[in-house]
Amino acid sequence: MKKIAILVGSLRKDSYNRKMANALVSLAPPSLQFEFVAFDNLPFYSEDREVNPPSEWVEFRKRVASFDGLLFVTPEYNRSIPGALKNALDVGSRPSGQGVWRKKPAAVMTVSPGPVGGFGANHHLRQTLVCLDVATMAQPEAYIGSAKDLFDENGALASERTRDFARRFIETFAAWVHALSPPPTH
């Protein structure tokens, strides 16, 4: 069993991205165990604070380091990723050479009410993950548009087509994680 951190870029409680993340969890193979990782309480990153890092940074870094893989589900804000997610990436990337993201397998899905499906955010996030040495799954690319029409009143995926794509995406991610994660040592 591989332990996967889910980082949802939208901080909104009832966001489309959180709904999609929940849908992905429900469709995932049992070989993955998911936990949502909050980052809305992280003080903004400044190298000056590394002398005595805030306890929120220390705890966040420890928590992320404990995972076998990363699943990012995020909206697009102004053709990029939300600032809170970028701050979390920055906090986890330091101190230099000790980042908690390094070498972890990851996948990116962007979900947006617009028709483009968060294409800009998806690629900005991937660009950042390259710099952080995260092994990001290349295919299938996942830009989910028209999000307001995808969920029923209970927050479940209403579209069979989207559910099938989400299932393929999360199954491919499971294979990616298992292929790149070292086997457990006894």
Q: pLDDT digit string (tens) for 58-102?
A: 999 999 999 999 999 999 999 999 999 999 999 999 998 899 999
* Beta strand extents in 9-62 (DSSP E only): 32-36
Q: pLDDT digit string (tens) for 126-157?
A: 999 999 999 999 999 999 999 999 999 999 99
What Cα–Cα distance (Å) separates residue 1 from each residue in 63, 120, 159? 17, 33, 29
Residue 144 main-chain phi, psi, to 5 deg:
-105, 110
Structure tokens at 129: 């993950």
The angle formed by the CA atoms of residues 64, 66 and 68, to the nearest 5 degrees, is 95
Is domain 2-180 annotated with CATH 3.40.50.360? yes
Q: Provide the pLDDT confidence category of residue 186 given band limits of 50, 70 and 90.
A: low
Give the pLDDT mean for 160-183.
Answer: 94
Q: 23-54: b or e for each residue (b if 16 or more CB lie within 10 Å)?
A: bbbebbeeebebeebebeebeebeeeeeeebe
Q: pLDDT digit string (tens) for 5-55?
A: 999 999 998 999 999 999 999 999 999 999 999 999 999 999 999 999 999
Nearest Cα to 17, choosing from 165, 160, 141, 143?
143
C-alpha to C-alpha distance for 65 and 114, rounded to whole angstroms: 34
Structure tokens at 169: 């995406």
Domain boundaries along the sequence of the chain: 2-180
Q: What is the dihedral of CA 57, 67, 129, 71, to 10 degrees?
A: -110
